[in-house]
Structure 1
């Protein structure tokens, strides 16, 4: 079994993904914002044994980022790896920061700044430019889904990830905020349905959690179905800000998320965990049982 947490250290907001024959997790280094100036990654061939890749990116390579680098999202395209991140925790359009993108030839980095400036550095539709997820649709189009402060936007990325392509109606950022949305969006497709997931509650509190909706399009409308990940006072609190991994070619799914040990009260003391994600016969997500044991060894073929 993997055990939870899956690797030691304070890490949050994990993005789980498969590259080749390896599972990868890209988390936030969970520390006070002024110390949160780099990111590590972790890889495994079996979900049990994890290798740490230290400082795959830091603020020396992203000149405009000064603090609070967090919530990475990553994709591979054309043999390159593109890492999207939030930085500086901007509170208004007057501050420098927002969502950036870096690129590398290897999933372990080192990542270099792709633009030399943020990709999104403004508030659109009230959404703080943080917590970006990059979603590849069935037709090959890449979208960025992002936003804090209880607003979520979707935007169509250019092929080279240097900016955005306006929609047919002339807008660039479409709001798709579902009920109770706070932050941490994630999307996947299963059996033709679009599953849209997000975090609710406050990230420092015990009630941080994940809810979801389903639709026939990445634009919704997304009607909230309910919570599927939350604290278990016998195991851990503050279970949220997650991602989902599907084993290639199989209807086998994992949820990767962070939570806070029962012994900890410091908001930054979060650890990364994996549990199974299951569906009922109608396609609804079953509530996740958070565990200490984690998941069984599963080597990628």
Structure 2
């Protein structure tokens, strides 16, 4: 009998137009939580995907829907979930507000399971105003080793961070009394992402226009989750022989290992429609000095990498 087991994931890792992926490990499974990439009026739900090995992915449909968010009317995008105290908190953008007079911004939903269903936790946005010029979109949640939780977000070229309270559905205050801290690095457009490695904070973000070929990812390194973040350089961008518009990503670290994968979206060379984006995964490496080596985007993706089962 012919062996049909895939050796590598291939890119894209699953079919369909999806973008802005967040990547997590929950319940000994790899998870990808993307935007459904369509016109704003059709972005009315979120799907999720899980895998035991980074290669074979299973779809979970409609883990959160517009109809279950009383204040949202269109444009659900850029989810970022996290687990805390046995619950799963799911941050997302809705309505693409253009001013403080419009209803919308960043919401938070909650579930007892990583596959949902998620339910709106507040009945209103968590962040619904422009602060320091940052459009309230593209949330990314990060819990530090000291258990402090932060939510990074922003568009229109500005980035803020807020401290989340222990309940994960309300915003706290920093030691200096501030609530919204601007941390905008040079070149920032949108799509923040944070990881910690060897006690250093690697802050990443998207540059360029999301609908064009030059969408890309750059990064900074700091000794604090609040920065300052001084741009080092690009780590992800188009390859004219593979795909364009590579950006807005999440990260996976294999537990207990210095082994990292970047999950991102890109546009096939055959496509010009802005929303025709696919989710891909490639290996990410650091050099001996701790700098990120620019990623080679591939059609192969990554090799089979099962998680070690808990005993």
Q: Which residue of 2 aligns with 1:39?
A: 46
CA distance in 2, matches of 1:186, 1:66: 26
Give the 3-state SS of the residue equivalent to 1:60 in structure 2. helix
1:118 equivalent to 2:125? Answer yes
Q: What is residue 195 of structure 1 aligned with on the other side? A: 202
Structure 1: segments with no counterpart, 5+ residues: none
TM, length-normalised to structure 2: 0.96
Shift of 1:137: 1.1
State the TM-score, normalized to the length of structure 1.
0.99
Matched, 1:179 2:218: no
Question: 1:78 and 1:284 mapped to 2: Cα distance?
Answer: 33
Written as runs of structure 1 = structure 2, the 5 A alignment for 1:127-206 is 127-206=134-213
Which residue is 2:249 aligned to? 242
Residue 96 (structure 1) aligned with residue 103 (structure 2) = yes
Whether 1:274 and 2:293 are equivalent positions in the alignment is: no
**How far off its partner does 1:160 sit?**
0.7
> For the residues of structure 2 that align with 1:74 and 1:241, how far apart are their CA atoms?
15
Aligned residue for 2:89, secondary structure, equals strand
RMSD across aligned positions (CA): 0.6
- Aligned-residue offset at 1:170: 1.8
2 CA distance for matches of 1:38 and 1:287?
A: 33
Q: How far 1:78 moved relative to its partner?
A: 1.1
Runs of 4 or more off by more than 4 Å in structure 1? none
Partner SS for 1:240: strand
Name the count of aligned residue pairs: 301
CA distance in 1, matches of 2:63, 2:169: 21
> Given the alignment, which residue of 263, 271, 293 partners 1:286?
293
In the alignment, which of 211, 232, 235 is matched to residue 228 of structure 1? 235
3-state secondary structure, aligned to 1:34? helix
Matching of residues 247-258 of structure 1 within 5 Å:
247-258=254-265
Q: Deviations over 1:251-280 (max 9, x none)?
A: 100000000000000000000000001000
